[in-house]
Amino acid sequence: MSLTLVLFSIFGTLASQAMSRTIDEPSIAYKHEQWMATYGRKYESKSEKEKRFNIFKDNLEYIESFNKAGNRSYKLGINEFADMTHDEFLAAHSGYKMPHNPTTSISTSFRYENFSEVPTNLDWREKGAVTAIKYQGTCGCCWAFSAVAAIEGIIQITTGNLISLSEQQLLDCSTNGNRGCNGGWMMNAFEYVMQNKGITKEETYPYQAIQGTCDMEKAAAQVVDISSYEMVPANDEEALLKAVTNQPVSVAIDGSGLDFQQYKTGVFDGNCGTSLTHAVTIIGYGTNEEGKNYWLIKNSWGESWGENGYMKIQRDVNTPGGLCGIAMKASYPIA
Ligand SMILES: *[C@@H]1O[C@H](CO)[C@@H](O)[C@H](O)[C@H]1NC(C)=O
Ligand SMILES: *[C@@H]1O[C@H](CO)[C@@H](O)[C@H](O)[C@H]1NC(C)=O
């Protein structure tokens, strides 16, 4: 944040305390203009801009009052999604579909069952097993991003090579049981990669944020393969910890809470359900200064969201499924 921005936000806070709401509006308008410039947002009409300004204002007021209450271990903040209502945001940015899929209820063997050398904290980024944050855009294929991040992880761990892999290949070609931009399951994505005998590079089959027909030529340019996948025993954060100690793990979560859209930093310990609507990848874990344990997750909502695209979410909560259902449907590929 530049010095002028810092000064501005201090002034903004003072101003909002001292002046009435009507006088406050120009400063929010100014923030909106700045935000539009930062994210290259343009509106088609005056009325659209006014509509978006009002949403921006509502979001900003919610964020400021939440942060002012200051009684949670996380903070909210303005990001790329600040001019979207929560419903608009959800419609465009989730995409894990739970019901009616036989493969989601299978239980597999769990190779890390007896693993006991669990360190107190771990960050797979530091070990070079995590590619840069990606952005799914307005396509509900979080499932593809989650599966790809888990494959990228295990391939780096077993070969030493970190290769960014193609979500678009999964989006176009992993259609058996998956619904493209309308949702899907990581297990089906792993199955596809096994059947295709591999997956190609991101740069060979780049992301388009829209489903197309499967490009057989690109799909046949596999660079890495997996042999199988396993499910982590459900509702068991201890088992999940053993798995994450060994490799990044795909998980489904309830990302439908308002605070998810606006999450900025800290350990998320907010209200959360267990209707699994979103998919992410756990890439580590740790404990914050207050002694609160957390999972470190890689999301696919770009770098403006959260901690440069990542989130800490409370670990070891007193519900079997974990906070936001994070321990309910975890899976990982096997190289
Ligand atoms: C935090 O404070 C707000 C406003 O005072 C209150 O509504 C909320 O219940 C509090 N949350 C916790 C976890 O204490
Ligand atoms: C874990 O240990 C038990 C008891 O020795 C054994 O029966 C089981 O097969 C082991 N699990 C794995 C995945 O190796």
pLDDT digits (tens, 9 = 90+) for 246-296: 999 999 999 999 999 999 999 999 989 998 999 999 999 999 999 999 999
Which ligand is located closest to the Cα atom of residue 113? 2
Parent domain of 190? 86-334
What's the CA gap between 252 and 96, in Å, rounded? 7
Which ligand is located closest to the Cα atom of residue 242? 2
Specify whether 130 is located in the same domain as 256: yes
Residue nearest to atom 1 of ligand 2 (CA): 114
Q: Which residues line ligand 2 (CB under 6 A)?
A: 111, 113-114
Record the tokens describing residue 84, joined without a space. Answer: 């979207």
Ligand 1 atom at minimum distance from 69 CA: 2
**Residue 13 counted as domain residue:** no
CA 76 – ligand 1 centroid, Å:
14
Specify whether 273 is located in the same domain as 150: yes
Strands (E), the chain: 74-76, 122-123, 228-231, 249-253, 263-268, 278-287, 293-298, 310-314, 331-334
CA 112 – ligand 2 centroid, Å:
9
Residue 93 annotated among the catalytic residues of the structure:
no
Residue nearest to atom 1 of ligand 1 (CA): 71
pLDDT the model gives residue 98: 55
Residue 114 annotated among the catalytic residues of the structure:
no
**Residue 178 counted as domain residue:** yes
Which ligand is located closest to the Cα atom of residue 233? 2
pLDDT of 320 higher than 90: no
pLDDT the model gives residue 114: 97
Specify whether 99 is located in the same domain as 193: yes
Examine the fold and report which residue of 5, 37, 71 is the final residue of a domain before the chain moves on.
71
Residue nearest to atom 12 of ligand 1 (CA): 71
Residue nearest to atom 2 of ligand 1 (CA): 69
Which residue's entry shows tokens 């069952």? Answer: 113
pLDDT of 124 higher than 90: yes
**Residue 15 counted as domain residue:** no
CA 70 – ligand 1 centroid, Å:
8
- What is the pLDDT averaged over residues 209-227? 98
The angle formed by the CA atoms of residues 305, 308 and 313, to the nearest 5 degrees, is 75
- Ligand 2 pocket: which of 109, 112, 113 to mutate (most atoms within 8 A of CB): 113
Active-site hit among 79, 278, 293, 324: 278
Active-site hit among 141, 142, 272, 324: 142
Specify whether 154 is located in the same domain as 209: yes
Specify whether 194 is located in the same domain as 257: yes
Residue nearest to atom 9 of ligand 1 (CA): 71
Q: What is the SS3 assignment for 65?
A: helix
**Residue 8 counted as domain residue:** no
Examine the fold and report which residue of 71, 94, 129 is the final residue of a domain before the chain moves on.
71
| CA contacts within 13 A on the Cβ side of 85 | 5
Specify whether 148 is located in the same domain as 282: yes
Specify whether 155 is located in the same domain as 302: yes
pLDDT of 217 higher than 50: yes
Mean pLDDT of the chain: 91
Q: Is the dihedral of CA 322, 326, 330, 335 positive or negative?
A: negative
Residue 272 annotated among the catalytic residues of the structure:
no
Specify whether 40 is located in the same domain as 120: no
Q: Which residues line ligand 1 (CB under 6 A)?
A: 69, 71
CA 59 – ligand 1 centroid, Å:
18
- What is the pLDDT averaged over residues 209-225? 98
Place 13 in a pLDDT band, splitting at 50, 70 and 90.
Answer: very low
pLDDT of 136 higher than 60: yes
Q: By C-alpha distance, which of 330, 320, 147 is closest to 235?
A: 320
Specify whether 62 is located in the same domain as 211: no
**Residue 247 counted as domain residue:** yes
Examine the fold and report which residue of 71, 104, 130 is the final residue of a domain before the chain moves on.
71
Specify whether 26 is located in the same domain as 128: no
Q: By C-alpha distance, which of 225, 158, 149, 218 is closest to 192?
A: 225
Is 168:125 a contact under the CB 8 Å cutoff?
A: no
pLDDT of 9 higher than 90: no
Residue 131 is classified by DSSP as P
Looking at residue 296, which CATH number applies to its domain? Answer: 3.90.70.10
pLDDT of 123 higher than 70: yes
**Residue 145 counted as domain residue:** yes
- What is the pLDDT averaged over residues 313-321? 94
- What is the pLDDT averaged over residues 108-124? 96
Specify whether 293 is located in the same domain as 267: yes
**Residue 17 counted as domain residue:** no
pLDDT the model gives residue 94: 75
Specify whether 42 is located in the same domain as 187: no
Which ligand is located closest to the Cα atom of residue 271? 1
Q: What's the structural domain count of the chain?
A: 2
Q: Convert the pLDDT of each residue in 284-314 to its tens digit.
A: 999 999 999 999 999 999 999 999 999 999 9
What's the CA gap between 303 and 150, in Å, rounded? 19
The angle formed by the CA atoms of residues 8, 9 and 12, to the nearest 5 degrees, is 85
CA 257 – ligand 1 centroid, Å:
16
CA 111 – ligand 2 centroid, Å:
9
**Residue 12 counted as domain residue:** no
pLDDT of 188 higher than 60: yes
pLDDT of 17 higher than 90: no
Residue nearest to atom 4 of ligand 1 (CA): 69
